[in-house]
Structure 1
Amino acid sequence: MICSCELIKEKMGWLMMGYQLVCLQILLLLSLSSANLCSHGQISALLHFKQLFSFGPAFHDAYCDIKGTPSYPKMENWKEDIDCCSWDGITCDTVTGHVIGLDLSCSRLHGSIPANSSLFLLSHLQNHNLAFNDFNFSQIPSNFVRFPSLTHLNLSASNFSSQVPFEISHLSKLISLDFSSNDLTLETLVMKELVQNMTKLEQLVFDFVNMSTVVPDYLTNISSSMMLLSLSECGLQGSFPENIFRLPNLHTLELSWNYNLRSTFPKVNWSNPLTYLDVSNTQLSGELPHSIGNLNSLSSLYMKRCNFIGSIPASIGNHTKLSYLDLSYNSFSGLIPSSLSKLEQLTVLDFSKNNFNGEIPDIFINLTQLSSLALSSNSLSGSIPSGVHGLRNLASIYLDGNLLDGTIPSWLFSLPSLEKLNLNDNQLSGHLDEFQNNSLQEIKLSNNRLHGSIPSSIFELLNLTYLDLSSNNLSGAVELYKSAKIMNLEVLRLSYNNLSTITKNNVNSSFPKLFWLDLSSCSINEFPEILLTADNLQRLDLSNNEIHGHVPNRLFNISTLFFLNLSHNFLTGIEGLPWQVIWYIDIHSNLLQGQLPAPPPQLRFLSVSHNRLTGLPIPSSFCNLSSIEYLDLSSNSLYGKVPQCLGNSMSISVLDLKTNNFHGSIPQTFANGSRLMTLNLNGNSLEGSLPLSLVNCGNLEVLDVGNNMINDSFPHWLATLPQLQVLILRSNRFYGPLGNSKTRLPFSRLRILDLSHNGFTGPLQTRFFENLPAMMSRKNTVFKLNIWEMNIIKIL
């Protein structure tokens, strides 16, 4: 019994000793946690690093806020008397106190990092993030190699420039590397070493880094651990390795906007955890393989503007997790597969600009999440499928540019979420029902066969910004002032219908956001009063109406106007062209009288043909039109000499002065490298010879100097113009033999040649006709040869 008591005492002693040890350890840990973890050396290094920068609002602030990382100067609260491990953006090892993480993203830093920066004394750094700052186009320091433990490095969108330093490739422990959205260049050798050394790399983001000299083959041996590879808009060219599509851990692959990058998808054994694949705007080509259906984790597939052909495999229906599917701007053909009905998570479907045919399959009954449907510019026929009726979340429909017929179903205008409706360029008929959907923002129904009146409810759609009903057979009266209820209306296009348009305002109305008003062929006989309050109007088309009198001053007060078409009316006067920013003015086919008005300085297009303009020579202000591309002053009564500056113009491509009273010689100097494509001087009183400087006009397609008094021999030298298709010399004073040009293929593209009513003489060799190959081609639908009238020519 005594022995038992002694044993119990001994055991109790051991328990008390263990308890005391545990307490001692707890006290030790508490004392460590209360002590400063960060060493004085690290504090000093970080504070010296802080002195390199100023802090202020940055370009990326808004983007940081959208990402959920508010932009603010994290460094401003760094104080010497506070443990740096508690500073904003700093992470320390809890045992050693070493700084292992430095996150200064979105910190409004302005400055640069020199090679001897104290930053590089933090040798234990593992995670370093300087994204979304401003380093003033400085170089990335090569001393990042002094972080041998670095696993994550993010320098994206921070205004770094020059070349990616070679030393970066020595960071062999990197798991994530992001240099995107800087002005950087990556050389081939750096990429080769990077792929070879970074065997643990899981994320590589080089979007917008210039990799144009990098051979894509160097990517072949990229780490099999790769999960995210993003190389958008890098200038990559050549053949992209097929094996990368098969990487076993890859879930995100972004290759878009590499215009010269080629490749094809794996045809067999293609299976990995890809969730996001974007190859848009590349040269990827071939048929879409059936094996793409094996990527059953795919949620986003973008293949816009590639060179894919053939039909869509039925296996596309295996992507039951797919939310975004964009195959637009390719050459896919055949029928749209009905297996798309299995994609119940789909929110965006874009098959526009392809060669799909047949009817649109009624696949939509299961696609209840669909918010955007785009099948524009194919050869789809038939009616709009009834299954669309059930798409309660549908916000936009683009079915324009097909061969759809039948009527527009009434339920289409009552879809509760529909915001954008585009059925332009089809063959839809019938009338428009009343609109019941107040969420509609865009209605585009132009170039169909719709008839009847415009429903009054359309002017109750207060969220409407874009209304285009042009080029139909709509009829009835339209009171423009009613559209003033739609305060957000920006575009109103009613042209080419059978409408009777009432332009008077019955109430005080304003159009604060209207910038495009298109009322061509709307039976208008006066300028609409809507112009009084459309202060932001940029495009105005009132052509093909019955408007009489002078152009009113209120039109001159619209300072934002850059497009104006008043052609085919009965206008008799215009008090100048006072707009400063306008690019396009078309007032041809009116009854305008008086002198030619001086043009605005920014003008690119001017047509005043078929009017009654008379008087002095072309104003000298026309010589100041540095951007003019199209100038048509034809069919007036203008006289004087043609200004030499029109020949010197480097911008003009069409110059039409026919049927006026111009005299003197043709401008003798046409600038080298001229863009001139059409020169029409027919029906004037021009004299002298053809200027030899016309050989500088390598783009010239049409030269018409007929019905003048030009005195010259046949211009053999024109045969050197590679694009010349029309040559009209008729009714002048040309003389002498036609002969034959020594050029190997003279006038190789000529389709119309008129030399009649001149003084050409002598024999005409049959070889002359053999040297007009374009006239022999059956592909040409128009050709004309007129040589003999009023000439003395004999064929040999």
Structure 2
Amino acid sequence: MKSISYQNPHSLMFHLMLLLILLVSCFCSYVSCSSHSNVSTTAITSSSLITSCLPDQTAALLQFKGEFAFIKPNFGSYYFNCPRSADPYYHADDYESYPKMKFWEKEKDCCSWDGVACNTETGKVVGLDLANSWLEGPLRSNSSLFKLHGLQRINLSFNNFSFSIIPSEFAQLSRLTYLNLSFSMFSGHIPSEISFLTHLASLDLSSFLNYDDATSLLHLRKVDFAKLVQNMTNLRYLHLHQVNISSSVPESLANLSSLTSLVLGGCSLLGNFPQNVFNLHKLEVIRVTCNYLLTGTLPEFQPSNSLTDVSLDYTKFSGKLPNSIGNLNSLSLLVLRECNFVGPLPSSIWNLSHLTHLDLSLNHIIGHVLPYTLGNLVKLTFLTLQSCQFSGEVPSSLRNLTRLEVLTTTTSELPKFQSLFLGSCNISEFPEFLKTQDQLKALDLTRNKIESEIPKWFWVIGRHLEVLFLYGNKLHGSFTIPPLFTSISYISISQNNLTGIIRKWTYLKVLDISKNNFSGTIPRWLGSSLEILNLQGNNFNGSIPHEIFTYGSTHSMMRMLDLSHNQFQGRVPQSLINCTQLQVLNLGHNQISDTFPFWLQSLSELQVLVLRSNKFFGPIWHPIMYLGFASLGTIDLSINHFSGSLPSDYFRNWGCMSKAPDGNNSDMKYLGQYKVMSNYYIPYRYSMSMINKGSEMELRKILTIFMSIDLSNNRFDGDIPSSIGKLQSLIMLNLSSNNFTGTIPSSFGNLRELESLDLSKNKLFGRIPQQLANLTFLEYLNLSHNQLTGQIPQSTQLDTFSKSSFEGNPRLCGSQVSKKCENTDTQIPFLSRDEEESENGFTWKVVVMGYGCGFVVGLVIGHLTFVNKDGKLENMDGKGLAGK
């Protein structure tokens, strides 16, 4: 290499300057690259660095400010569809509530604005924290938010984005490492483009439930869930609480080695949960609560496990609790309520000295009652072992638990409790230790074996009670609450042998005294504040006083009313029309004599109507008075004297039943939930009996998705309305023991959710429609004792039913009955000539002319339908499980 000789000092200085410039340039490049890779927004102290916000950043933020109004949100109690123990652990109160953007001023540097963080080297906005900032209005796809390409952190939680869809343009912010859109009134499908944000370390899209029907506002497709888990390998926090996913959990979730918090409560998950997720080394929180179809087992836990919070309540997790659970040294919360765990309780669990919350209720755990080492759990504030089959004495070490607020076992010398849940504990007498518990606000002694009277001393110490559960015992004697009980709002004493007088309580919201021995007439003041009144299965008589639905105001607050299985007479009081929020009306099994109450159609919230086994008479349709029921899901008019025919469009305006199910398991909810004691949401699970699949059964929890019609044992005549085929969500249909004539409508083939169909003991004629073969969920079928003819459709779902489903139709033939068909090779379900005139005037000739073209078109449509179903397989499976 040729050497360079500097004879001229100016030349030397020149080259030295070039070298210095080069070094400075490299250093600046290094600093710039480092700032882009660093998520920290800490300012870099240097006089040469930019210290103010760039003009285009200021303009974008001000435009973003102008897109919203500033109105303080009122979220109320619409967070959760799970019991208290399954609530998320973050709330709007976690963030200071005020309109941050309202105070942004153009004259000031945007990097000094509240909620804005900048990279002070580049002047670009890198962080935006507007949680609980009163934003109201839709977040649109053209929002100026998406002009801020340098954003790395966004928190827009607890705002009101007016049920708008989450814009897919979030994917343009490729540098995001933190995205929190939780509980901000977004709705619809989460865009698949979210999975493109591969740098995300924290993603929270948790959602409220729909105000009206408690269904999820947000939905995440199965394929997008899988992509999200597969692409976001840097995730540390994944929170999708109450986002409707309706699919299994991908095995690849166990590959997220950085994951520390996983919250998937109320997501309608199904299938088997990947066991390896529990042993992710950094995982601290795992909450998959209220996924009622999710199965799984617990693994052997390693000593290096970091778990602090495990909540699996209201799932189908099963198996034994491993003894290695004692390795979870950091565990503070363990909630396994209402799962399917079995076997002995591992003794190692009492070594978990950090536990504050332990709930093992409603499992099948057995063994000796709590060991003396229970006293090690000195941090416990919540302990409930309801329905666990323990034996032996309660240890005195229980006294060490001085922080305990909620307990499910009885003992002596305990602190003052506000809540005691002692359900299903095999208690045989009223607990004496309650004499010292004069601060109780909630007491649960349900499903025990108490056969005594309620002691008089209880009415002295219980004056602060707000909630009293005594149902499912053998209590007898008089139940008469003294006037001192002014705070009580929820009473359930059903399934006992109690008698007494119903007193007036000012603040009472729920009164369930069903299945006892109360008698007499209903007090006229009773409905003043009640939202639920259940008097089912007593000996009440007389007429139903109309005053209970108008007392104190023009509109009653009543939501559920069950007066069934009594001896009420007279007519249905028309003042019921004031109960504008009424969801359930059950007057079945009484002596009520009246015409059909057409005015009930104006109750837009009515979901369950039962008039079964009374003396109702006359038509249930009138050309002027009949409008239809918008929200009705269950109607039972059986065993009455209703008569007349129904027009073909009778069911046209039954909106709720007409909605096609979408396989969304979040629809699997029950009626009723009440907030008491400021903290607890106490569910009310309404139950009733009905004829389903040929047998009377007790529905202990009424699913709002259970759609049923029972018009059996009346005097209806004429054709079965063809509009019944519009009720796509119908699960049970019983029209038996009437005088219906005509053919079975082919529109029945549209009832794809139908599980039980009873058309027996009518005067139906003609062939069985081939379309019934479409009813793949059908488990019970009774077409017996009609005048049906021709061949029973072969090689279909109908092959699975026995002879009893078709007997009493001597002109039927097929493999299911004794009469065999002739010319079986050419059997096509056409009408015979004496049946050829349909109600629309078409003849069999017209049907034949269209048969060839229809066959080809049917093949094409059938193929498209198959492809569509295959693409939504998870929805089909979910619905099938829900329906069964």
TM-score under structure 2 length normalisation: 0.63
Instruction: Note the residue ranges of structure 1 that are not aligned, 5 or more in a row.
Output: 1-32, 375-383, 743-796
Mapped to 1, the partners of 2:718 and 2:246 lie a distance apart of 58
Aligned residues: 663
Matches within 5 A, 1:153-552: 153-157=178-182, 161-164=191-194, 168-169=198-199, 177-181=202-206, 195=233, 203-207=236-240, 216=251, 220=255, 222-223=257-258, 228-232=260-264, 240=274, 242=276, 245=279, 247=281, 251-254=284-287, 264-267=298-301, 269-272=302-305, 274-279=307-312, 286-304=319-337, 308-328=341-361, 331-338=364-371, 339-352=373-386, 356=389, 358=391, 361=394, 364-373=398-407, 385-387=410-412, 390-399=414-423, 402=424, 404-412=426-434, 415-434=437-456, 435=459, 436-457=461-482, 460-475=484-499, 477-478=500-501, 480=502, 482-483=503-504, 486-505=505-524, 511-528=528-545, 529-533=547-551, 535-552=556-573
Out of 573, 579, 583, the residue aligned to residue 607 of structure 2 is 583
**How much has 1:86 moved relative to structure 2?**
4.5
Match for residue 58 of structure 2?
47
- Structure 1's 461 and 411: CA in aligned 2 closer, same or farther, altered over 3 A? farther
Greater CA drift, 717-726 or 208-217: 208-217
Residue equivalent to 2:832:
none
**DSSP-derived class of the 2:592 partner:** strand
What is the rounded CA distance, in whole Å, between the counterparts of 1:116 and 1:535 in structure 2? 47
2: distance between equivalents of 1:154 and 1:637?
A: 63
Please name the residue that 1:29 is paired with.
none
Conserved in 1, the CA contact under 8 Å of 2:452 and 2:475?
Answer: yes
Query: 2:514, 2:535 within 8 Å by CA — same for their partners in 1?
Result: yes
Return the alpha-carbon distance in structure 2 between the equivalents of residues 487 and 285 of structure 1. 45
2:725/2:750 contact within 8 Å kept: no
Q: Does 1:105 align with 2:137?
A: no
CA shift digits 1:437-477 (9 cap, x unpaired): 233222222232110001332x54222222122221113x4
1:503 aligns to what SS in structure 2?
Answer: coil
- Partners of 1:421 and 1:391 in 2: how far apart? 15
- After superposition, the Cα gap between the structure-2 partners of 1:334 and 1:206, relative to the gap in structure 1 and judged at 3 Å, is same
Aligned to 1:703: 782
Q: Is the CA contact (8 Å cut-off) linking 2:549 and 2:578 kept in structure 1?
A: no
Distance in 1 of aligned mates of 2:581 and 2:540: 26
Deviation at 1:604, TM superposition (A): 3.4
Check 1:207–1:65 CA distance in 2 against 1; reply closer, same or farther (3 A cut).
Answer: closer
Question: Is the 1:680–1:704 Cα contact (8 Å) retained in structure 2?
Answer: yes
Residues 552-591 of structure 1, C-alpha deviations (whole Å, 9 max, x = no match)? 3333443333322223322222363311233333323333
Q: 1:513 to 1:596 in 2, by over 3 A?
A: closer
Q: Is the CA contact 1:659–1:684 (under 8 Å) kept in the aligned structure 2?
A: yes
The match for 2:652 is 624
Contact 1:61–1:71 (Cα < 8 Å) also in 2: no
Whether 1:572 aligns to 2:593 is: yes
Greater RCO between the two (CA within 8 Å, min separation 6)?
2
Larger Rg computed on CA atoms: 1
Aligned residues with identical type, % of pairs: 25
Indicate whether 1:738 and 2:762 are aligned.
no
State the shift of 1:536 in Å. 2.0
Q: Distance in 1 between matches of 2:226 and 2:134?
A: 33
Q: Which residue of 2 aligns with 1:88?
A: 114
**Deviations, residues 166-191 of structure 1 (Å, cap 9, x unaligned):** 5743x9xxxx6445448789787886
Alpha carbons 1:446, 1:472 under 8 Å: kept:
yes
8 Å CA contact retained: 1:314, 1:337:
no
- How far apart, CA to CA, are the structure 1 residues paired with 2:731 and 2:206? 39
Return the offset for 1:64: 7.5
The C-alpha deviation readout for 1:680-714, integer Å capped at 9, x for no partner, is: 455555555555554444415231432x5x27467
Q: Distance in 1 between matches of 2:179 and 2:253?
A: 23
Q: Which runs of 5+ in 2 are unaligned?
A: 1-43, 76-89, 208-217, 658-706, 823-884
